[in-house]
Structures are given as structure tokens and as C-alpha cells.
């Protein structure tokens, strides 16, 4: 399990924190992953269908910045 821990400057966020950060439900986050190819890809820390997903905080924030800069 990877908590919100900083190692070598990289911060991993679990799905619930990413959903909160982008202002979506977990289900809406799943849809976003399927429909937006620019959304960061998650990292799995184990094998199997029930493996927890984590995102690199810096990648999520970069995606958010891109979304803000592309609005009209």
C-alpha cells in the first residue's frame, strides 16, 4: 500500500483523493479516464482485478493546469 507519501519528490494519490481533487465522483473519474486521452494514467501497485490505483499528484495537477489554460 502506498499512502500519500513523498519519495524522491513523487507523491502518489489514491483514487478517492484524485476524484476529490478534480471535483468528480469515483464513477465520473472512471468515465473521464475512458473518454479523455489526456488524463494521466494510473499506476497499480499490485496484480489482479481488485488492485488499487494510484496517480502521480504532479501529473494530475499538470492535467488540471492544461484544462485551465485551454478554456476560452
- Is 38 part of a structural domain of the chain? yes
CB 42 within 8 A of CB 16: no
**Mean pLDDT score, 38-61:** 92
Q: Give the residue numbers spanning the domain of 27.
A: 6-69
- Is 1 part of a structural domain of the chain? no
- Is 32 part of a structural domain of the chain? yes
Work out how many domains the chain is built from and give that number: 1
* Percent of the chain at pLDDT exceeding 70: 88
CATH number of the domain within which 54 lies: 1.10.1660
User: Using one digit for the tens of pLDDT, what is the confidence trace for 13-25?
Assistant: 999 999 999 999 9
| CA atoms of 66 and 68, how far apart (whole Å) | 5
Amino acid at each position: 500500500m502506498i499512502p500519500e507519501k513523498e519519495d524522491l519528490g513523487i507523491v502518489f494519490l489514491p483514487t478517492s483523493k484524485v476524484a476529490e481533487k478534480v471535483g468528480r465522483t469515483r464513477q465520473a473519474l472512471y468515465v473521464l479516464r475512458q473518454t479523455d486521452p489526456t488524463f494521466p494514467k494510473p499506476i497499480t501497485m499490485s496484480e489482479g482485478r481488485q488492485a488499487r490505483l494510484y496517480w502521480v499528484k504532479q501529473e494530475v495537477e499538470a492535467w488540471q493546469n492544461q484544462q485551465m489554460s485551454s478554456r476560452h
